[in-house]
């Protein structure tokens, strides 16, 4: 948001469109520049700008099924439910282009909703947690197992869906030590995937 405004110094530049589910995400977007108030004021005075950054907020209702939330030319973005309780609503996105389909799960459990979102996808970006090391933590720290995607189940689902490229994001625990990244791959492969 700030970079869009700082880099483009043309007067009358349209606000940055931001497409989000209505509710907490839209509320966050409405207030996300509040902490930057003083920084923005300094930049406006320094550059002689009279307008600060603006957002073209495009909230959409929590979808009951896959719903188109944005389109431009031959590209369209659909949103669908994912399971991240107690966080609600939670959505994932399906980006359809003439060159292929990319699905971004966002935070979720491995669930039927992700399978629906990712059916026929070429690339699947999945948040990923290695459950085994988290299960070794003290009980009061294991609550995160309730609402993140188990790498082994990700591998199984990706194999069932026939996804050719799987990208893991939001890696928990962070792969800091040698071999940690390989452990994520091994977990996914133990679920049956042959995705690259």
170-193 mean pLDDT: 90
Rg (CA), the chain: 20
From CA 43, how far away is CA 22, in angstroms rounded?
31
How far CA 74 is from CA of 98, 101, 117, 156, in Å, comes to: 7, 12, 19, 32
In which band, very low, low, confident or very high, does the pLDDT at 192 lie, cut at 50, 70 and 90?
confident
pLDDT at 9: 61
From CA 184, how far away is CA 157, in angstroms rounded?
15
Query: 56: part of which helix (H) or strand (E)?
Result: strand 55-60
Could you confirm whether domain 61-196 is CATH 3.20.20.150? Answer: no
pLDDT at 88: 82
User: 22-57 b/e with 16+ CB inside 10 Å = b?
Assistant: eeebbeebeeebeeeeeebeebeeeeeeeeebebeb
Pairing of strands 123-129, 55-60: unpaired
- Which of 9 and 75 is assigned the larger pLDDT? 75
119-140 mean pLDDT: 94
Q: Tens of pLDDT along 16-61? A: 889 999 999 999 999 999 999 999 999 999 988 888 888 999 999 9
The answer, as to whether pTM is greater than 0.85, is yes
pLDDT above 90: residue 73: yes
Q: Tens of pLDDT along 154-170? A: 999 999 999 999 999 99
- Which of 30 and 3 is assigned the larger pLDDT? 30
- Contact of 122 with 95, CB cutoff 8 Å: no
Two structure tokens written together for 41: 């004021």
Q: Where are the domains of the chain?
A: 1-60, 61-196
User: 159-184 b/e with 16+ CB inside 10 Å = b?
Assistant: bebebeebebebbbeeeeeeeeeebb
């Amino acid at each position: 948001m700030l970079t869009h405004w700082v880099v483009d110094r043309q007067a009358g530049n349209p606000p940055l469109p931001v497409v989000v589910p209505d509710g907490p995400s839209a509320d966050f977007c409405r207030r996300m520049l509040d902490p930057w108030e003083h920084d923005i004021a300094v930049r406006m005075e320094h550059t002689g700008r009279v307008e600060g950054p603006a957002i073209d907020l495009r909230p959409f209702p929590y979808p009951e099924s896959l719903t188109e939330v944005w389109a431009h030319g031959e590209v369209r973005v659909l949103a669908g439910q994912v399971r991240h309780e107690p966080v609600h609503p939670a959505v994932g996105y399906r980006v359809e282009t003439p060159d292929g389909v990319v699905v971004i799960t966002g935070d979720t459990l491995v669930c039927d909703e992700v399978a629906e979102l990712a059916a026929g996808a070429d690339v699947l970006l999945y948040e990923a947690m290695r459950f085994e090391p988290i299960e070794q933590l003290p009980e009061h720290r294991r609550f995160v197992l309730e609402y993140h995607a188990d790498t082994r189940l990700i591998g199984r689902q990706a194999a069932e869906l026939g996804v050719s490229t799987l990208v893991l994001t939001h890696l928990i625990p962070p792969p800091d030590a040698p071999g940690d990244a390989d452990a994520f791959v091994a977990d996914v492969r133990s679920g049956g995937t042959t995705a690259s």
